[in-house]
Amino acid sequence: MVDGAGQETSTPPPTGLPIDSSASSSESGRMTRRIQQNGRHESVPLGRTWLWARLPWWVAIAVVFTVLVVQLSMHFGRLAVDPQYDDVMYFLDGLDRLEQVRADGLRGLAAGYLHRPPHSPWSSFLAAACFAVFGVRDWAPYLGNGLLIVVLVGFVDFLAIGHGRWPRRLCLFMACTVPFAAQGVNHFAPDFACGLFTAIGVVLLLRGSFADSTRAHQAAAGLSFGLALLAKPTGAPFTLGILFGALVLAGICDRVARPGLTFRRVVASWGWCLGTMLALTAPHYALAGRYVTAILEINILSPQAGVEKMSGGQPLPWYYHLTGFAGRMMLGKHLYLFAAICLASLAFVVRVRDRAAGVRHLAFAMVLAVAWAFPTMFGSFNPMFAQTFTVLLLFCAVIAVCDVLPRVPQNGTGFLWARRLFVAGVVAVPFIGIAPWPSGAPPSRNRTQLHREIYRDILRHVRTGSGKRKDRVFLTCYSDIAPHTLAWLARKEGLNASFHAGRWSTDLNVFRREIDSSGFVLAVTTQGHGKVHPWLPCAEVADSVLEMVRSSRDFREVADWGPLGANQYYLFDRVR
């Protein structure tokens, strides 16, 4: 175009999330990225040399970050108490896999996989590897989550490469201060891994021209989605929905950016992505397909599905993953920072009136909306369920930072106020977010001690009675004292016992049969102060079951503890 002085000028390429319509190309067999820097395009090599040069830095950052989070959590946070919730299930399964390897080598591992496929291959085998390296310790698997931090830091660095030292440092700073990174270390459930790999796959599909990218780039996108499907097979419907939706959006964006692009080329790029994903995931789903389907039916169609969507009798609010409990836990003040950065990127796109960049912004916004809406509408009160949304929001902000900062005018006063405000916000808000990090109130010291005392005393009584009868412990209602945690602690001590809990039934005959087949019964009550986990059906009959055990001549009360919160616990031993 020609300016008012008759001089020929060039319009800068589109800004915003889609930095470049050809995000990767092939030069002499090496992967490169074309980047606008200081007014000209540069090809930055992204081959093995770059990877091996940057990898030590990623590992160093991840090691320091992971060790710091685990240490803080062991003294002031979630890891100060015995492992709880889903974490313990993966600990137990990982320990089973490790013992299979020690007993029969790879043959035993394969036989165990065929007989009982893992609920989450990623979490189970990561736990097994951590136990093999660090020993059977409660904190060992959490150190293994450092591998995910390596991936997070590495991908953020990959997105920021070629955009200057300070934008890259700022992006890495945001990645290490956003609360969900610490929570990803603190929790061993596969939700963070699934969300991270899904978000990486979405960015690889939508950031640049996917149809014109290299086969390695297309296969990498399929690999990311494949790892997400192996991390959380029960989340497959959501992951596949995001995958196919992003593929369609990528095709639309590519056609808008290059109208001459053939449909055949678009389909070919889809083939490389889907083929890689299928090659990685097909063996597991062929073995575990029925199990995954059964779990999905329970989570979607059974009465249990409605119970999981309630907390204290209250339904899941629409803002839960934004400014509610989960949003504060996973994003904190970073939510406003990331939103401001993305809106600034959109403003630049509107200013230059670039249609292709605007369409890519819309595509990212649509995926973000779905990633937030799905766990909000169909999820439960689990703050980890929207990890795809939170991680993808970070990646969008990273891409926008790398695009917006180099284009803010360095001279003149037109955008001086905006630049100062933007830089001040970018620097200040992450520090505000660090203030409550790691998020969540530390557990009470007295509560932690009582928690441990109850677990150890139960195991002591079971150990004393071992040899006389089958060591089976029945918990009358699922509560803060969990059967999986008891099973984990017993396993570490070499105690052969099984632990079960009432959860979904209100039929007293069901509880009577469980009690009759048990050597110990742990009954829980609130003594009239509300209900034990009121959203669980077993809470309706907790007091009745306690009276049933007390009135039985087959059991005697041997211990009681509490209150733990509002709950009082009573342990009964079989006398005949």
499-537 pLDDT, tens per residue? 988 777 778 888 899 888 888 999 988 765 555 565 677
Give the residue from 567, 501, 569 showing the smallest Cα distance to 537: 501
Q: Could you say which DSSP state residue 442 is in? A: P
Domain 445-574 sits in CATH 1.10.1420: no
Q: What is the mean pLDDT of residues 253-267?
A: 91
Q: At what angle do helices 334-352 and 165-177 cross, to 10 degrees?
A: 140
Q: What is the mean pLDDT of residues 160-165?
A: 80
pLDDT exceeds 50 at position 18: no
pLDDT exceeds 50 at position 39: no
pLDDT exceeds 60 at position 450: yes
Q: What is the mean pLDDT of residues 360-378?
A: 93
Check residues 565 and 335 and name the one with the higher pLDDT.
335
Q: Determine the pLDDT at residue 338.
A: 92
Q: Name the residue ranges covered by the structural domains of the chain.
A: 45-82+138-434, 445-574
pLDDT exceeds 90 at position 436: no
Q: At what angle do helices 334-352 and 416-434 cross, to 10 degrees?
A: 160
pLDDT exceeds 60 at position 376: yes
The answer to whether 506 and 540 are in contact (CB under 8 A) is yes
Token pair, residue 429, equals 């808000």
The answer to whether 84 and 485 are in contact (CB under 8 A) is yes
The answer to whether 42 and 30 are in contact (CB under 8 A) is no
**Helix, strand, coil % over all residues of the chain, rounded to 5:** 65, 10, 25
pLDDT exceeds 60 at position 433: no
